[in-house]
C-alpha cells in the first residue's frame, strides 16, 4: 500500500504526460480499496462490517474504468478518450455503486450476507445478485481490453516499450486472477478476497515500469501521436486503404487535393469516391500521374501496408503535387530545343561567315574574324555538351548491363589517339574486368579524356589512364592523369558546392557532365593536382604542379535506380 501511495504521488506530479492522470486515479483507487479492506478485516461489529463491505464496492467499481482510460492514453489512443467516452464507460459502474448503497431495498447486488470470524479475520460471505454479475462481466471486459492493447504493444513496439508493457500486464493479470479465484470460492481462506493482496504484486511491477523502464519518460503514445502528426501535417496528401481498397483515413492535404471531406469518403471504395474527378488509382505499388481539374498535376504513388506477420492489410496512397516540377520540365525541354536547334544553327552560320571573312580580309582583320570563328565553335560545342547531358540524363533509369571495362577504355583511348596524334597516351589496364553499369559510364570517360587533352598546353602532352580493382570494397577506380595546366580551383569549388553564382561559375558543361554522370553511377569523383615529375622537361621557372589527376570510383555493380525518382534534369535555365 505504501508503494502504491508513492507511485500515485509521483505520477500525479507528472500528469501532463499521456495517461498519467488516469494512472494516478487508478493507483489512488487501489490504495483506498486495499486500505478499506484491511480495516474491514479487523472490524467485529456486524453493522459496521456490512457498511464497510458496501464502501468497498463503491471504491472498486471505478478501478476498471481508470485502467482502460490509462491504457488507451498510454498506447496512443488518447484521441478516443473524451469526456463523453469516459462518461459512457462510467454509466454502469455508477449504477452499480448506487445499487450497492440501496441494496437493502432490492437485493440486486447481494441477496444475503453472513459474517464469519476466522483466525482473527472478519469475513463476509455474500450471495450475489444479477447486478453484481453484470458489473463483474463489464469490469473483466474493460480489464481484458486493456490487456489486449498492451499485448499488441509488446508484439509491435520493436522492443522499445516491451518491458514496460510486460510489467503492466503482470500488474493487471495477477489481481484479475486473484479476483476470479475469490469469486469462485478457491481462496486459501474461505470468503477471503485475494484481490487487495494481489495489488502488492501490481505495486512492484508498476514500480519497476516507472523506475527501471522509464514509464513516464518513454511513452508509446508519443510515437503514435508523432506518426499521426507527421501524416496530418506533411505536405503530401495521404489516403489509407484497407485490403479491399476502401478508404479508412485521409489527411487534410488530401482532402484539399481531392476537394472532399474525410467524413464523406471514409468507408467508400477509393475508385467510387474519386470517380467524378477521373482519378486513376494505381494497382499494387505502381505510380500514376493524375491531371486534376485546372492547371494542377499530381503524382499518386501506392505502397502496401503489412502487419507484423508480413501479411498485406492495405495500401497507402501518397499524393504529391508535381505541377511545378512538370512546368519546370516543360520549360527545360523548350530551352533545350532552342539550344539544340536555333542556337546551334545560328552558331554554324556565324562560323561559316567568319571563315569566309578570314579568307577575304587582311592580316589584322582576319585575326578578328578567326577569333569570332573560334568563339562560335566553342559555343556550338557547348550546345553539343548540353545535348549530351540531356541524352545521358534520359538514360538514368536504364538497368545496368554487363560491361567489360578494359575494352571500353581502349576504344576511348584509340579515339583520342586518332583525333589527337600529338598526344602520348599510356594505359595500365587489366586484360578483362566485367562490371555492371549503364551507358552513362561511356559518356563520363569520353569527357574526362577529352578534357585532359583539349586543355593540355604542354609542348609534349601526355595522359595516363589506369584501372584498379578493389574486390574487398567491391569498387573500381579509374584514374586519368595529364601534364597540362591543371583544373582551376574555381572550377573545383563550383563542383564541390554544387551551385553556380554570377561570380562563381564553371567555364563550361564538361565537368558538370562528368560530375552528374558519376553521381548517377553511384560513385565518387576526386580532382587532385599532379606533383612534379622528375622525367618531365623543365618549363622555365615554374615549379608548381604539372597537370591534374581525375580519379573516378564506381561500384562494381551499379545499383538500379527506382523507376521514377522525381529528379529533374540538372540543366539550369538560369
By the 8 A CB rule, do 478 and 491 touch?
A: no
Model pLDDT for residues 349-368, shown as the tens digit of each residue: 888 888 888 878 887 788 88
Rounded to whole angstroms, how far apart are CA atoms 76 and 160?
Answer: 14
314 and 425 co-located in one domain: no
- Which of 321, 340, 355 delimits the end of a domain? 321
* Domain annotation covers residue 100: yes
Rounded to whole angstroms, how far apart are CA atoms 291 and 73?
Answer: 42
Model pLDDT for residues 392-413, shown as the tens digit of each residue: 665 544 567 888 999 999 999 9
Q: Which pLDDT band, with edges at 50, 70 and 90, does 224 fall under?
A: low
Model pLDDT for residues 286-317, shown as the tens digit of each residue: 888 888 876 788 889 988 877 656 777 788 89
Query: Taking CA 46 as the corner, what is the angle to CA 187 and CA 1, rounded to the nearest 5 degrees?
Result: 50
Q: Which three cell numbers stand for residue 335?
A: 530551352
* Domain annotation covers residue 565: no
* Domain annotation covers residue 311: yes
Report whether pLDDT(141) > 90. Answer: yes
Model pLDDT for residues 531-544, shown as the tens digit of each residue: 644 444 444 444 45
Instruction: Report the pLDDT value the prediction gives residue 160, as an integer from 0 to 100.
Output: 56
Pick the more confident residue, 548 or 217.
Answer: 548
Rounded to whole angstroms, how far apart are CA atoms 66 and 97?
Answer: 15
* Domain annotation covers residue 228: no
Instruction: Report the pLDDT value the prediction gives residue 472, as an integer from 0 to 100.
Output: 79
263 and 353 co-located in one domain: no
Number of domains in the chain: 4
272 and 371 co-located in one domain: no
* Structural domain of 86: 2-222
Domain of 513: which CATH number? 3.30.565.10
**Hey, is 126 helix, strand or coil?**
strand
Report whether pLDDT(497) > 70. Answer: no
Report whether pLDDT(492) > 70. Answer: no
Q: Which pLDDT band, with edges at 50, 70 and 90, does 464 fall under?
A: very high
- Which of 321, 342, 376 delimits the end of a domain? 321
129-143, 348-362, 454-468 — which is least confidently predicted?
A: 348-362
246 and 136 co-located in one domain: no
Instruction: Report the pLDDT value the prediction gives residue 106, as an integer from 0 to 100.
Output: 92
370 and 256 co-located in one domain: no
Instruction: Report the pLDDT value the prediction gives residue 234, as an integer from 0 to 100.
Output: 72
Residues 6+ apart with CB under 8 A from 173: 147
* Domain annotation covers residue 566: no
* Domain annotation covers residue 412: yes
* Domain annotation covers residue 309: yes
214 and 247 co-located in one domain: no
Share of residues in the chain with pLDDT > 90 (%): 19
Instruction: Report the pLDDT value the prediction gives residue 542, as an integer from 0 to 100.
Output: 47
Instruction: Report the pLDDT value the prediction gives residue 410, as an integer from 0 to 100.
Output: 94
Residues 6+ apart with CB under 8 A from 369: 354, 355, 357, 358, 361
Instruction: Report the pLDDT value the prediction gives residue 335, as an integer from 0 to 100.
Output: 67
Q: What is the pTM of this model?
A: 0.49
Domain of 285: which CATH number? 3.30.450.20
Amino acid at each position: 500500500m505504501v508503494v502504491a501511495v508513492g507511485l500515485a504521488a509521483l505520477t500525479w506530479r507528472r500528469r501532463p504526460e499521456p495517461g498519467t492522470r488516469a494512472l494516478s486515479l487508478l493507483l489512488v483507487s487501489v490504495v483506498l480499496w486495499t486500505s478499506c479492506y484491511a480495516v474491514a478485516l479487523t472490524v467485529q461489529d456486524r453493522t459496521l462490517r456490512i457498511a464497510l463491505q458496501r464502501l468497498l464496492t463503491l471504491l472498486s467499481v471505478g478501478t476498471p474504468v481508470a485502467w482502460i482510460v490509462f491504457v488507451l492514453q498510454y498506447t496512443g489512443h488518447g484521441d478516443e478518450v473524451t469526456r463523453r467516452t469516459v462518461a459512457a464507460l462510467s454509466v454502469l459502474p455508477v449504477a452499480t455503486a448506487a445499487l450497492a448503497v440501496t441494496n437493502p431495498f432490492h437485493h440486486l447486488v447481494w441477496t444475503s450476507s453472513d459474517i464469519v470470524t476466522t483466525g482473527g479475520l472478519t469475513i463476509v460471505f455474500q450471495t450475489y445478485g444479477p447486478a453484481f454479475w453484470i458489473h463483474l462481466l463489464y469490469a473483466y471486459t474493460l480489464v481484458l481490453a486493456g490487456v489486449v492493447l498492451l499485448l499488441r504493444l509488446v508484439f509491435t513496439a520493436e522492443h522499445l516499450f516491451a518491458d514496460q508493457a510486460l510489467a503492466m500486464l503482470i500488474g493487471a493479470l495477477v489481481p484479475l486472477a486473484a479476483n476470479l479465484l475469490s469469486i469462485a470460492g478457491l481462496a486459501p481462506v474461505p470468503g477471503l478476497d485475494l484481490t487487495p493482496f494481489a495489488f502488492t504484486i501490481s505495486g512492484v511491477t508498476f514500480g519497476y515500469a516507472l523506475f527501471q523502464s522509464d514509464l513516464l519518460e518513454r511513452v508509446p503514445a508519443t510515437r503514435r501521436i508523432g506518426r499521426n502528426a507527421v501524416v496530418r501535417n506533411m505536405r503530401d496528401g495521404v489516403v489509407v486503404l484497407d485490403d479491399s481498397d476502401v478508404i479508412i483515413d485521409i489527411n487534410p492535404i488530401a482532402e484539399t487535393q481531392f476537394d472532399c471531406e474525410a467524413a464523406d469518403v471514409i468507408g467508400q471504395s477509393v475508385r467510387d469516391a474519386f470517380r467524378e474527378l477521373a482519378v486513376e488509382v494505381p494497382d499494387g505499388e505502381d505510380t500514376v500521374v493524375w491531371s486534376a481539374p485546372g492547371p494542377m498535376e499530381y503524382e499518386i504513388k501506392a505502397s502496401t501496408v503489412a502487419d507484423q506477420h508480413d501479411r498485406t492489410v492495405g495500401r497507402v496512397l501518397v499524393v504529391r503535387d508535381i505541377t511545378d516540377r512538370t512546368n519546370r520540365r516543360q520549360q527545360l525541354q523548350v530551352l533545350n530545343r532552342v539550344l539544340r536547334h536555333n542556337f546551334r544553327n545560328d552558331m554554324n552560320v556565324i562560323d561559316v561567315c567568319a571563315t569566309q571573312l578570314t579568307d577575304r580580309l587582311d592580316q589584322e582583320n582576319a585575326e578578328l574574324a578567326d577569333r569570332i570563328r573560334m568563339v562560335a565553335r566553342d559555343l556550338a560545342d557547348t550546345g553539343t555538351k548540353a545535348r549530351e547531358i540531356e541524352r545521358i540524363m534520359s538514360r538514368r533509369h536504364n538497368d545496368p548491363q554487363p560491361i567489360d571495362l578494359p575494352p571500353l577504355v581502349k576504344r576511348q583511348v584509340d579515339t583520342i589517339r586518332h583525333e589527337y596524334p600529338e598526344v602520348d597516351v599510356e594505359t595500365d589496364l587489366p586484360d578483362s574486368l566485367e562490371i555492371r553499369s549503364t551507358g552513362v559510364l561511356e559518356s563520363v570517360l569520353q569527357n574526362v579524356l577529352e578534357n585532359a587533352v583539349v586543355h593540355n598546353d604542354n609542348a609534349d602532352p601526355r595522359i595516363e589512364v589506369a584501372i584498379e580493382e578493389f574486390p574487398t570494397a567491391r569498387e573500381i577506380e579509374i584514374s586519368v592523369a595529364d601534364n597540362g595546366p591543371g583544373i582551376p580551383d574555381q572550377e573545383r569549388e563550383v563542383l564541390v558546392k554544387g551551385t553556380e553564382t554570377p561570380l562563381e561559375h564553371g567555364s563550361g558543361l564538361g565537368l558538370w557532365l562528368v560530375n552528374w554522370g558519376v553521381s548517377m553511377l553511384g560513385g565518387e569523383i576526386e580532382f587532385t593536382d599532379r606533383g612534379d615529375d622528375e622525367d618531365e622537361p623543365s618549363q622555365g621557372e615554374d615549379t608548381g604542379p604539372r597537370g591534374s589527376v581525375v580519379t573516378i570510383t564506381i561500384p562494381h555493380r551499379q545499383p538500379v535506380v527506382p523507376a521514377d525518382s522525381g529528379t529533374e534534369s540538372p540543366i539550369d535555365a538560369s
